[in-house]
Amino acid sequence: MLTYQDVQPRATQIKDAVLARRMPPWGAVKGFGNFRNDESLSQEQIELVTKWVDGGIRRGNNPGMLPKLPSPKPPPQAVDLRHAVRVTGPFTLDRAVTLDGLLPEHVPANQSITIIAVLPTGRVEPLLWLHGYDAKYAHPFLFRRPIPLPAGTVIRGVPAGAAIALLPA
Protein backbone atom coordinates (compact mmCIF):
# COMPACT_ATOMS: atom_id res chain seq x y z
CA MET A 1 0.00 0.00 0.00
CA LEU A 2 1.67 3.14 -1.21
CA THR A 3 -1.08 5.74 -1.53
CA TYR A 4 -3.67 7.36 0.69
CA GLN A 5 -6.37 5.69 -1.40
CA ASP A 6 -4.83 2.29 -0.61
CA VAL A 7 -4.49 2.94 3.12
CA GLN A 8 -7.53 5.02 4.08
CA PRO A 9 -10.18 2.25 3.94
CA ARG A 10 -7.86 -0.10 5.86
CA ALA A 11 -6.56 2.37 8.45
CA THR A 12 -8.14 0.71 11.49
CA GLN A 13 -6.89 -2.73 10.42
CA ILE A 14 -3.42 -1.28 9.86
CA LYS A 15 -3.44 0.34 13.30
CA ASP A 16 -4.50 -2.97 14.91
CA ALA A 17 -1.77 -4.88 13.05
CA VAL A 18 0.85 -2.30 14.01
CA LEU A 19 -0.19 -2.32 17.68
CA ALA A 20 -0.10 -6.13 17.73
CA ARG A 21 3.35 -5.94 16.03
CA ARG A 22 2.15 -8.15 13.16
CA MET A 23 3.06 -5.39 10.74
CA PRO A 24 5.69 -5.12 9.50
CA PRO A 25 6.29 -8.86 9.86
CA TRP A 26 9.46 -9.19 11.95
CA GLY A 27 8.65 -12.29 14.00
CA ALA A 28 10.67 -11.58 17.14
CA VAL A 29 9.61 -9.87 20.35
CA LYS A 30 11.11 -6.37 20.50
CA GLY A 31 13.75 -5.93 23.21
CA PHE A 32 14.66 -9.61 23.61
CA GLY A 33 17.93 -9.75 21.74
CA ASN A 34 19.55 -6.92 19.78
CA PHE A 35 19.50 -7.45 16.01
CA ARG A 36 21.20 -5.49 13.24
CA ASN A 37 18.53 -6.47 10.71
CA ASP A 38 15.56 -5.53 12.93
CA GLU A 39 12.82 -4.16 10.67
CA SER A 40 10.16 -3.79 13.33
CA LEU A 41 8.67 -0.38 14.11
CA SER A 42 9.94 1.77 16.96
CA GLN A 43 7.52 2.83 19.69
CA GLU A 44 7.58 6.34 18.20
CA GLN A 45 6.53 5.01 14.77
CA ILE A 46 3.73 2.95 16.32
CA GLU A 47 2.45 6.02 18.16
CA LEU A 48 2.56 8.05 14.94
CA VAL A 49 0.35 5.53 13.12
CA THR A 50 -2.01 5.28 16.10
CA LYS A 51 -2.39 9.06 16.44
CA TRP A 52 -3.00 9.44 12.70
CA VAL A 53 -5.78 6.83 12.71
CA ASP A 54 -7.32 8.07 15.98
CA GLY A 55 -7.11 11.65 14.68
CA GLY A 56 -9.38 10.94 11.73
CA ILE A 57 -6.95 9.65 9.07
CA ARG A 58 -6.35 13.16 7.80
CA ARG A 59 -4.93 13.52 4.35
CA GLY A 60 -2.03 15.91 3.91
CA ASN A 61 -2.44 18.75 1.44
CA ASN A 62 1.13 19.56 0.44
CA PRO A 63 2.29 17.38 -2.45
CA GLY A 64 5.83 18.74 -1.97
CA MET A 65 6.01 16.93 1.40
CA LEU A 66 5.30 13.48 0.03
CA PRO A 67 8.10 11.00 0.62
CA LYS A 68 9.71 9.29 -2.33
CA LEU A 69 8.16 5.99 -3.26
CA PRO A 70 10.23 3.16 -1.78
CA SER A 71 12.39 1.18 -4.13
CA PRO A 72 11.85 -2.57 -4.16
CA LYS A 73 13.59 -4.34 -1.31
CA PRO A 74 16.53 -6.45 -2.42
CA PRO A 75 16.05 -10.15 -1.77
CA PRO A 76 17.55 -11.31 1.53
CA GLN A 77 21.14 -12.46 1.32
CA ALA A 78 21.62 -16.19 1.42
CA VAL A 79 22.83 -17.53 4.74
CA ASP A 80 25.80 -19.90 4.73
CA LEU A 81 24.65 -22.92 6.71
CA ARG A 82 27.80 -25.04 6.19
CA HIS A 83 29.14 -24.16 9.65
CA ALA A 84 25.78 -23.67 11.36
CA VAL A 85 25.00 -25.60 14.51
CA ARG A 86 21.51 -27.12 14.30
CA VAL A 87 19.57 -27.21 17.55
CA THR A 88 16.46 -29.27 18.27
CA GLY A 89 15.66 -29.37 21.96
CA PRO A 90 18.13 -28.58 24.77
CA PHE A 91 21.66 -28.56 23.38
CA THR A 92 25.12 -28.20 24.96
CA LEU A 93 27.95 -26.70 22.92
CA ASP A 94 30.97 -29.01 22.80
CA ARG A 95 33.22 -26.16 21.58
CA ALA A 96 33.29 -22.38 21.82
CA VAL A 97 31.18 -20.58 19.21
CA THR A 98 30.95 -16.89 18.42
CA LEU A 99 27.32 -16.51 17.46
CA ASP A 100 26.38 -14.08 14.65
CA GLY A 101 22.70 -14.93 14.59
CA LEU A 102 19.97 -17.54 14.46
CA LEU A 103 17.86 -18.91 11.65
CA PRO A 104 14.56 -20.61 12.43
CA GLU A 105 14.72 -23.63 10.11
CA HIS A 106 11.49 -25.18 11.30
CA VAL A 107 9.06 -23.63 13.75
CA PRO A 108 5.47 -24.91 13.83
CA ALA A 109 2.90 -22.31 12.73
CA ASN A 110 1.92 -19.74 15.37
CA GLN A 111 4.45 -21.23 17.81
CA SER A 112 5.97 -18.97 20.44
CA ILE A 113 9.44 -19.91 21.68
CA THR A 114 12.03 -18.21 23.85
CA ILE A 115 15.63 -19.22 23.17
CA ILE A 116 18.36 -18.51 25.72
CA ALA A 117 21.97 -19.49 26.23
CA VAL A 118 23.01 -20.51 29.75
CA LEU A 119 26.77 -20.06 30.04
CA PRO A 120 28.89 -22.33 32.27
CA THR A 121 29.17 -19.42 34.74
CA GLY A 122 25.36 -19.43 35.13
CA ARG A 123 24.91 -16.17 33.25
CA VAL A 124 21.89 -16.20 30.92
CA GLU A 125 22.12 -14.62 27.47
CA PRO A 126 18.77 -13.90 25.76
CA LEU A 127 18.98 -14.99 22.13
CA LEU A 128 15.57 -14.90 20.45
CA TRP A 129 11.91 -14.79 21.38
CA LEU A 130 9.55 -15.69 18.56
CA HIS A 131 5.88 -14.94 19.14
CA GLY A 132 3.19 -16.40 16.90
CA TYR A 133 5.85 -17.24 14.35
CA ASP A 134 4.87 -17.41 10.67
CA ALA A 135 7.35 -19.27 8.45
CA LYS A 136 6.27 -17.37 5.33
CA TYR A 137 8.29 -14.45 6.71
CA ALA A 138 11.30 -16.62 7.60
CA HIS A 139 14.65 -14.83 7.76
CA PRO A 140 17.81 -14.90 9.84
CA PHE A 141 17.97 -12.87 13.06
CA LEU A 142 21.44 -11.31 13.00
CA PHE A 143 22.90 -9.93 16.22
CA ARG A 144 24.14 -6.36 16.31
CA ARG A 145 27.34 -7.69 17.91
CA PRO A 146 28.48 -11.31 17.79
CA ILE A 147 27.96 -13.20 21.04
CA PRO A 148 30.85 -15.39 22.27
CA LEU A 149 29.57 -18.64 23.78
CA PRO A 150 32.11 -20.90 25.51
CA ALA A 151 32.08 -24.69 25.37
CA GLY A 152 29.57 -26.05 27.87
CA THR A 153 26.97 -23.36 27.09
CA VAL A 154 23.47 -24.82 27.10
CA ILE A 155 20.97 -23.60 24.50
CA ARG A 156 17.45 -23.84 25.90
CA GLY A 157 13.99 -23.10 24.62
CA VAL A 158 13.90 -24.93 21.29
CA PRO A 159 10.93 -27.30 21.65
CA ALA A 160 10.64 -30.76 20.16
CA GLY A 161 9.48 -30.43 16.59
CA ALA A 162 11.35 -27.15 16.04
CA ALA A 163 14.82 -26.61 14.59
CA ILE A 164 17.01 -23.52 14.90
CA ALA A 165 20.38 -22.98 13.20
CA LEU A 166 23.02 -21.15 15.25
CA LEU A 167 24.98 -19.03 12.76
CA PRO A 168 28.65 -18.63 13.70
CA ALA A 169 30.44 -15.35 12.97
* Residue ending a domain, choose from 17, 35, 65: 65
Residue 158 sits in the same domain as residue 121? yes
Interval 5-25: pLDDT, tens: 888 899 999 999 999 888 888
Strand-pairing partners, residue 125, are 117
Residue 89 sits in the same domain as residue 163? yes
Residue 89 sits in the same domain as residue 159? yes
Which phi and psi angles does 87 have, rounded to 5°?
-120, 125
Residue 104 sits in the same domain as residue 156? yes
pLDDT at 122: 97
Residue 109 sits in the same domain as residue 148? yes
Residue spans of beta strands (DSSP E) within the chain = 85-87, 91-92, 97-106, 113-118, 124-130, 141-149, 154-156, 163-168
Q: How confident is the model at residue 138 (pLDDT cuts 50, 70, 90)?
A: confident
Interval 46-83: pLDDT, tens: 999 999 999 988 887 777 777 777 777 776 667 888 99
pLDDT at 59: 82
pLDDT at 128: 96
Number of domains in the chain: 2
102: domain range? 85-168
